[in-house]
Amino acid sequence: MLEVTDLSVRAGTFVLSQVSLKVLPSSCHVILGPTGSGKTLLMESVIGLRNPQTGKVILEGEDITCLPMEQRGLSYVPQDLALFPHMTVRQNILYPIRIRGGKQNFENGIVRELIDSLSIGNILDRSVKNLSGGERQRTALARAVASGCNYLVLDEPLSALHESLKTELWYLLKDLQKRYELAILMVTHDLEEAFFLGDVISVIIDGKLRQQGEKRDVYRYPHNEDVARFLGVGNLFHGRVDRINDDSLFVRCEELGDTLTLSTHWRKLAVKKNDDFMIGIRSEDVLVQTPGEFMSNTPNVIEGTVMEIFETGASLQVIIACGHRPEKVKLVMHRSASTGLNIVAGQKIVIHLPKENLFLVELA
């Protein structure tokens, strides 16, 4: 296991503050956050390029905080890949093996497997100066795994690739992880990449660890407003706790002109009457019908009139006026939410926010 404990690092006026995380064997732990949040600073401290002010880096029970980079037992792939430009693909892949005094044999063992699985056998004698972006990425991954380290540290190695090639390499990376039982610590700002590759997600914003957990929990239940907005939750509304019973939480939302019922995640928070929170729901969980489609006792049914519609790929941003209120509210919904309906401006619709899909978000 790779463990980072209470790590704090300063770079100029920026401070990465007291970050702790664990990378379990054969798992992928993704560090997610916006540009400038401190992700790369964290990775440089883990691999030994920077000295932390406080905290420890421990690998399989050994404190490696003060060890030089080459003695840490970590294989690092930076964003620029750091391939040696004066070497061929073959020489780049064999370099870490040569440094460790291992056999430089392409015909047997892990090196041949890597070449076959990454489909780079036809470029082994080519200079890395003449490689495409995808070929460079595959070469860097081959070199990292060929080193024999079970722990890979990846700092946005796929960020420069176009989407189709990036997705292809996601599958290859997953295959390498499974085949060689790799533990991966990876940085990205790409949400889809993070939730595809990661088992555990840590969200860092402004140098602070804002949330950490299994990817499903992080995705479904962001802890605070900053995390929710970074994770792309488009539907966030101010609310005040009205009452609590054994089964449900009731939150008054003036923006929607209704008291909303929640039935799940709120139990994990310290919630009291009159507390202020944000109420969130993901776009794919919003349901839309015409008036009269829902039963009268269905909670969280809001009637409104469509004012404007904006199409953004798979989602719709719909501006509605709720009831007789003059204020307009923006709702983001997936196209599938309105299947069978041709929503147009001026149309009356009914929005359903299922109580099991609503969650509370602490104010920023």
Is residue 75 within 8 Å of 151, Cβ to Cβ? yes
At 231, the pLDDT band (50, 70, 90 cuts) reads very high
Alpha-carbon Rg for the chain, nearest whole angstrom, is 25
Q: How crowded is the C-beta side of 240, counted as CA atoms within 13 Å?
A: 5
Q: Which residues contact 80 (CB under 8 A, 6 or more apart)?
A: none
pLDDT band at 107 (very low <50, low <70, confident <90, very high): very low
Give 339: exposed, middle or buried? Use CB within 10 Å, 0-12, 13-18, 19+. exposed
- 265 confidence band (pLDDT: 50, 70, 90): low
pTM metric for this prediction: 0.89
pLDDT in tens, 84-100: 999 999 999 988 877 76
User: Would you give the DSSP letter of residue 3?
Assistant: E
The band of 38, judged by pLDDT with boundaries at 50, 70 and 90, is: very high
pLDDT band of 109, cuts 50, 70, 90: low
> Please, which pLDDT band fits residue 295 given cuts at 50, 70 and 90?
low
The candidate with the shortest Cα–Cα distance to 49, out of 58, 41, 57, 60, is: 41
In this predicted structure, which of 149-153, 256-260, 325-329, 344-348 has the lowest mean pLDDT?
325-329
Position 182 pLDDT exceeds 90 = yes
Domains and CATH numbers, the chain: 2-224 (3.40.50.300), 226-361 (2.40.50.100)
Tens digits of per-residue pLDDT, 14-33?
999 999 999 999 999 999 99
Mean pLDDT over residues 291-299, rounded? Answer: 73
Give the pLDDT confidence of 126-176 residue by residue, as tens digits: 999 989 988 998 899 889 988 888 999 999 878 777 778 888 889 988 998
State the pLDDT at residue 100.
Answer: 65
